[in-house]
Structure 1
């Protein structure tokens, strides 16, 4: 809720609600955790519903970080590539097996309702976390999803007016929703920024850390396709989606392909300073000359073996969109 732990007033509010003292120091950004694990600064890690071996840059670097940990726990739906490195796997449940809400990038809080009950040892994510809290000495009762939403509303001003009761009555609410009679905010900035005046910063140009050269003459960009979501832990288990899009590929400009002797549909080898993979070439005009593009969803072409883990100075986002590679016809 954009409340900084370094702010004494904010920290005091949460400490009073939770009955415990909070560390005033902000934690690491997610992408800074893995280098810290390799350096021995982080000994244990708890990953919740993420598959960084597939989705994060420089796969070998991620695996080295996970293997450097003394203890690694993951809470997941499936045996993902990352889960294979875990000491303990806590089986959670999917969106269709629980009550709650999702908040999308439109800021709309959407109610979800339990649709199915499956057999097995999986449990509600909130129950797993509650068990851990109690096991570690913090007395925490089990709460319903509605009660958890009420707690969020009591501590997060932008969610103060949102509740299951309002959502169940048919209201469509987008934060900020600052009181129980507030209608929500369909458009965030009307006439002027909500803060009054925009806060602008001068941005100094910083070149990418890795640009094409004689050894790796092409730029590789990565991204998503319509049919799969992130690491494809769920979507790759859909036969229908896999029939439409079931293997990795690389988009190559037709002029580059002609020089390289590559035909559409042929297998190619893609290499960077970090590794090498193979993929099917899609030759055409979707990318410019000197550029290539690959999705990161597919285990047969794990593109993040190639990508660079260089981070920007502020948000600590990796350079997924700029990576120097070479492309050759497969033997």
Structure 2
């Protein structure tokens, strides 16, 4: 009943707003993004030539995020919407579907990736792990898709978008080289990453980490006592030195895991807080994709050494 009422509100908002202009008075393309990773990417490509609004800020969990009335207004007035897709923004899917009848261009960046290369799951609705931004090569494909879309929608500024994309891709190349060098300082047998939920599988696949999450791919599922006991046994058997909390997931799940390990006469430290489904605060290094990735890798490597 609540869900039906929510969709009814969305319908009403769309019907009221649909007749309004899509552009601001300054004529710039109006772009709305969902996750903070995508917002940062689009900001780097669009720069001053677009009016950009991101729905999700620091610490926001996209798995659980619901659109407010204000979000519906932003989405309805946009020229372009960029979102991750692959069911990451699970509670926004119906909103996007209802907007298919409008003139707004919607781009699900993750859906454009080669599905045969993605990590599958028997337990997630989309059958694919949606945390694809932790594979930098996928993020580069996001850059290409965003650049192509902005250039098509706003051909007058296409050259600016393409120049910005070239510059940003060079920065991503540098980031990738720095990450590989940092990870190389950690012995392969120590590359076991235990986190609150399964957000780092693409990272693990790229850099040789065994990744184990207390929760599944979506934070909508909760870890139970058996999950905690199973993982505590794994930590003890593999002599894992540190486990990690996530900025967008409550600390209590990992603290419960630490307590379970300690109850068996063993020790494991909390190695720090990682950014998984959201960037850090705006205006900080961790508030950018590149800064977030650098921070995460440094935190992981230093804690596991």
Q: TM-score, normalised by structure 2?
A: 0.28
The structure having more radius of gyration, on CA atoms, is 1
* Higher share of residues assigned strand: 1
User: Which structure shows the bigger proportion of residues in helix conformation?
Assistant: 2
Higher RCO structure, 1 or 2 (CA under 8 Å, sep 6+)? 2
